[in-house]
Each structure stands twice: as structure tokens, then as C-alpha cells.
């Protein structure tokens, strides 16, 4: 059935093993992030087989999926947990990323076993966490109120919201907070932190990396790069041509906005051979597709259709042909969550 994703789990396992060995030499453990594939058991098993012990996800539904498939944690909730859903998490989640006193106290009141709280510190990306210059005071105050749960350490995330890169300055901001509260665990999230390793930045005391993209795709979208020592092409989209016609390259008539509310401009290249493939914005981010066949160019998409230029393809293209694409993080994210895209996991 098309469209479909080919998910090469074996290549992902190689990435996981490469990074685990690389980071273990620095005293850093990996939390394998499973959310991109909705906690699929094959992805969870891949992490475990690669020697990664903690699985991180942002949704309790995904953790339940892994548990039902026989995957034993430990599990880390990598999104700040809502108070309204803590009861669902309390018997499952071993690690929580938190940033509010109310959440810490609520977990403390419910838990009857050892759980680890990582208090999030904002070092500049402006997503979750207390600002680094106020963090030590806030964390120290909350630690004194806890009876059963414990704040095991501090964490930070960069790249995902503001696109901030690691620097010696923002890493030092986190490390200073960790020293002030005597943190056992210093946890950072975002594939972009691999740049800090590669550039020999200050990593004193940092002992946990939460990684998904680098292992699953071999890329670093915040850094705008393929990671040269990892496998790419781990997820391939296959989509079928449903129409093939020569048409002008620029729409004719007065223009407003497209179906997604965007004002789109098209270059006039004369008449071109244009193929429609049966996949659209409801299933993928078309701008995250890289054609694997020379001469194919993605033009634009609506909710159900993606238009590609195949004028320069070195073969006879016909209706029913399958075109193949590499995908970036946002394209994979949308495709995995679409019920209209088949997923084939290849061990």
C-alpha cells in the first residue's frame, strides 16, 4: 500500500551503538527518545539492544504501548507532566522533567517508590525551565519540601524552540546551577548537544544526553547538517504517481492564499512535466522531502496532493510509478502520526 514509510531499524541500531560508545568514554549515558515513532516496540527494542537503558517519551500512551509489548523501562517523561494526568503516570514513569513547584509536590504526594526528578533550567532557548540565574534558589527551596520524591539533578533543552546552539557560556550556566544544588544528574536534551562534544566544549559534570533525532535519522536539524559518522536514509517515503501532465509552471489568474493559508510564489519556467503523488500536507511536510532520484523536484503541496517536477528525470515516467524520498525530522513526525501512511519496519 502506498504511501508508505520504510523504517530501517538496523541502521538506527548502528547509530545508537556508535553514539553510546562515543559518549560513554566521556561518562555520559543516553536516554533513547522514542516519541518520533510513537513508542513503537521495535524502536524501543532497538534502543535496548544497543545497550541504552532509559527510554524517554513525551506521551503516556506511548509508554503504555511499549509496556504492553513487553518492553521494561526505565521510562522518562520528557515533557513537563500535566497535573491532570499524573495519576496515569505515577506507577509507570521513573524519571520526570519538571519545572514547577506544584508538579514536584504533587508527585511527592502520590509516589510510594523511588522516582527521579530532573528540574529544568532555561539556558537561553526559552522553552521550559526556570531561568538559569534564578534556578539554584528555586530548586533549593523545593528540595526542602519533598518527603518521598527527590530532585536528582538538573536538565536543559536547547534547539527545539529558539534554535539556540550550545556554547561554552550556556553549558557553563547549567553546570554552575548543578554545582550549587549538588546535582547527581545533569541531563541535556536535543541532538544539537552533540556539537558540544565534537567541538570539545565544556561538559564538566554533564552525564546524561536525551537523544532521538541523531539515532533515528542521523541528522541534526538545528545544526542544519547530516552527522557524517552516522547513517542517514533510515526512513524512506514511497509515494505513487496518480497524475502526470505537462502544464505551465506558474498558476494562471489572480491569486490569494493556498489551502494552508500561505502566500506562495512560483517561478515561471515555462511548460513542465508535473507529477502528482498521493500524499499531502495531512501526511507529511513536503518541504522535508529530498527526492532520491535525480531530476525530481518537489514544488508544493495541498492537503492530499504533492506536486513534483519530473521534467529532467532520465527515464520514461508513467502513472503508477513509485517515487522515493529521504525525509527530515518534521516530515517523519507527520508521516508517523498519519493513519494514512503505511509503516514497514525493517530489521
pLDDT given at position 252? 79
Active site residue 35: yes
Phi, psi (5° rounding) for residue 32?
-85, 115
Domain extent for 72 = 9-222
pLDDT given at position 128? 95
Looking at the structure, do residues 210 and 239 belong to the same domain, yes or no? no
Angle between helices 168-181 and 132-143 (to 10 degrees): 20
pLDDT given at position 76? 98
Q: Which of 208, 148, 218 is nearest to 184 (CA)?
A: 208
* Other beta carbons within 10 Å of 59: 16
Q: What is the CATH number for 216?
A: 3.20.20.10
Looking at the structure, do residues 180 and 31 belong to the same domain, yes or no? yes
Confidence of residue 227 (pLDDT cuts 50, 70, 90): very high
pLDDT given at position 254? 72
Tell me the pLDDT tens digit for each residue of 158-178: 988 888 999 999 999 999 999
Mean pLDDT of the chain, nearest integer: 95
pLDDT of residue 245 exceeding 70, the answer is yes
pLDDT of residue 264 exceeding 80, the answer is no
Tell me the pLDDT tens digit for each residue of 107-158: 999 999 989 999 999 999 999 999 999 999 999 999 999 999 999 999 999 9
Tell me the whole-structure pTM to 2 decimals. Answer: 0.94
Does residue 181 fall inside a structural domain? yes
State mean pLDDT over 73-95. Answer: 97
- Beta bridge partners, 99, equal none
pLDDT of residue 257 exceeding 70, the answer is no
At 331, which helix (H) or strand (E)?
helix 329-337
Does residue 230 fall inside a structural domain? no
Catalytically annotated residue among 25, 35, 134, 326 = 35
Residue 94 exposed, middle or buried by CB count within 10 Å (0-12, 13-18, 19+):
middle
Amino acid at each position: 500500500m502506498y504511501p508508505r514509510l520504510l523504517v530501517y531499524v538496523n541502521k538506527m541500531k548502528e547509530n545508537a551503538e556508535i553514539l553510546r560508545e562515543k559518549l560513554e568514554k566521556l561518562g555520559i549515558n543516553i536516554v533513547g527518545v522514542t516519541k518520533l515513532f510513537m513508542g513503537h516496540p521495535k524502536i524501543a527494542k532497538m534502543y535496548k539492544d544497543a545497550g541504552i537503558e532509559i527510554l524517554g517519551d513525551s506521551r503516556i500512551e506511548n509508554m503504555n504501548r511499549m509496556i504492553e509489548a513487553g518492553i521494561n523501562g526505565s521510562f522518562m517523561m520528557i515533557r513537563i507532566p500535566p497535573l491532570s494526568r499524573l495519576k496515569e503516570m505515577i506507577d509507570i514513569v521513573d524519571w520526570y522533567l519538571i519545572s514547577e513547584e506544584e508538579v514536584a509536590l504533587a508527585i511527592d504526594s502520590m509516589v510510594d517508590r523511588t522516582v527521579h526528578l530532573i528540574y529544568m533550567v532555561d539556558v537561553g532557548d526559552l522553552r521550559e525551565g526556570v531561568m538559569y540565574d534564578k534556578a539554584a534558589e528555586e530548586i533549593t527551596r523545593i528540595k526542602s519540601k519533598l518527603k518521598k520524591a527527590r530532585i536528582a539533578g538538573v536538565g536543559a533543552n536547547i534547539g527545539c524552540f529558539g534554535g539556540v546552539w550550545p556554547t561554552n557560556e550556556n553549558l557553563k550556566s547549567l553546570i554552575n546551577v548543578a554545582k550549587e544544588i549538588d546535582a547527581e544528574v545533569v541531563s541535556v536534551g536535543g541532538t544539537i548537544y552533540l556539537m558540544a562534544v565534537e567541538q570539545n566544549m565544556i561538559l564538566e559534570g554533564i552525564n546524561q544526553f536525551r537523544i532521538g533525532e541523531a539515532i533515528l535519522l542521523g541528522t541534526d536539524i538545528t545544526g542544519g547538517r547530516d552527522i557524517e559518522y552516522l547513517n542517514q536514509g533510515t526512513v524512506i517515503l514511497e509515494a505513487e504517481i496518480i497524475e502526470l501532465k505537462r502544464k505551465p509552471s506558474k498558476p494562471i489568474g489572480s491569486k490569494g492564499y493556498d489551502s494552508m493559508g500561505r502566500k506562495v510564489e512560483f517561478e515561471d519556467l515555462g511548460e513542465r512535466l508535473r507529477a502528482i503523488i498521493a500524499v499531502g500536507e495531512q501526511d507529511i511536510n513536503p518541504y522535508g522531502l529530498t527526492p532520491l532520484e535525480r531530476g525530481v523536484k518537489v514544488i508544493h503541496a495541498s492537503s492530499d496532493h504533492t506536486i513534483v517536477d519530473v521534467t529532467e528525470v532520465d527515464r520514461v515516467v508513467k502513472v503508477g510509478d513509485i517515487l522515493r524520498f529521504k525525509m527530515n525530522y518534521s516530515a517523519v513526525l507527520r508521516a508517523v502520526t498519519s493513519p494514512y501512511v503505511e509503516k514497514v519496519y525493517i530489521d
